[in-house]
Amino acid sequence: MAAHFEKCLTETDTVDRLSLPIEWHRILPQGSDEVKIYVSDGFGFYEFRCSTIRMGRYRKPFLQPEDWLKFVDHKGLKVGDKIILDSEPNDFIGHHFRIRAQKLNHEDHKWVDV
């Protein structure tokens, strides 16, 4: 099953963690409360630790701050920038994850990959 997630970043996303939609539980690797996902963006490869279990009313999986914030810093992401995360099934690795970080070009109002 393929999945697509697109979000304009909030302050929480840029200083803490990135929460994923609850539906992503179906495509994330199973087996523990925290899994590693390997993601490419056309410029490089990244490893994110994703927590799949949360207590309380918030059941959404999220990318751990240690890994996610390195990516945010590396890309120079700020509030209002956009992240796109796609997944498609892969017979060899389970799922292939792709991420796109984008900033709005204010001259022509188009999103540009960074």
pTM (two decimals): 0.87
Which two structure tokens, joined as six digits, stand for 109?
Answer: 């109002």
The one-digit pLDDT tens for each residue of the chain (114 residues) are: 678 999 999 999 999 999 999 888 777 776 667 888 899 998 899 999 998 776 666 678 999 999 999 999 999 999 999 999 998 876 665 678 999 999 999 899 999 999
Residue 69 one-letter amino acid? L
Residue 101, classified by CB atoms within 10 Å of its CB into exposed (0-12), middle (13-18) or buried (19+), is buried
> Contact, 3 vs 86, CB < 8 A?
yes
* Sign of the alpha-carbon torsion through 12, 2, 47, 101: negative
Domains, the chain, ordered by start: 3-113 (2.40.330.10)
Instruction: Give pLDDT, residue 58.
Output: 66
Measured CA to CA, the distance from residue 1 to residue 56 in angstroms comes to 27
